[in-house]
Amino acid sequence: MRNHPKTIAWCIIMTLCAIGAVANEPAEPVDPGKRVVVSERIIGGDTATTSASQPERAGLVAVRDAETGELRAPTASEWQELASTFDVLNRSDQGLVERTYSDGSVGVRLEGRFQSVSMINRSSSASGEDVVEATCTHSADTVVAKLASTEAAAESQDDDETEAAHDH
């Protein structure tokens, strides 16, 4: 059962130090008449791998529990939600595999990194207008900041709502 994000404030402290995270992949089968891989190298020279359950990032990630106000390690389900976002926003080339082909061309599979992410915020302004802000970002920091700010606002404005969400 996934813990709903309303149960926590997404107060995230991150040191985004990407580590090599791409499993070595075999070269593509040679297709006569097409490009042939003549060399492969792991960018950054780090051949470390990570388990599938961990995000491809290193550093400290903590969440602040809205109920206790204390920092704690994210639960597995919280990791799952955050990691799925952080992975796509990773803009490091470290650990990716660069393939050089017989015709001199070069290709790199981005392994799900360098994605853009659309976010939305629905709220009411102080003037009473319905405010819907849908933005596109490539930054994990932006995602964290938006989630943290809206959670903090929700806490201060409506404790009852937050409490109700704890049961989700």
Positions that interact with another protein (CB under 8 A): 2, 4-6, 10, 28, 31, 34-35, 43, 80-82, 84-85, 88-89, 91-93, 98, 103-110, 112-123, 127-139, 141-143, 146-147, 150-151, 153-154, 161, 165, 168
Helices 140-157/159-166 angle, 10° precision:
110
Closer residue to another protein (CB): 70 or 128: 128
Nearest-approach distance from CB 48 to another protein, in angstroms:
20
- Minimum CB separation of residue 12 from another protein in Å reads 11
What's the Cα-to-Cα distance from 141 to each of 56, 70, 90, 113, 137, rounded to whole Å? 16, 21, 11, 15, 9
Min dist. Cβ of residue 68 to another protein (A):
18
Distance CA 145, CA 147 (A): 6
Task: For another protein, give the closer residue by CB, 19 or 119.
Answer: 119
125, with CB counted inside 10 A (0-12, 13-18, 19+), is: exposed
Q: Which is nearer to another protein, 60 or 153 (CB)?
A: 153
What contacts 115, CB < 8 A, 6 or more positions away? 88, 89, 138
φ, ψ at 54 (rounded to 5°): -110, 140
Q: Which residue number, 47 or 139, has a Cβ lying nearer to another protein?
A: 139
153 closest CA partner among 121, 120, 117: 121
Based on CB atoms, which residue is closest to another protein, 72 or 168? 168
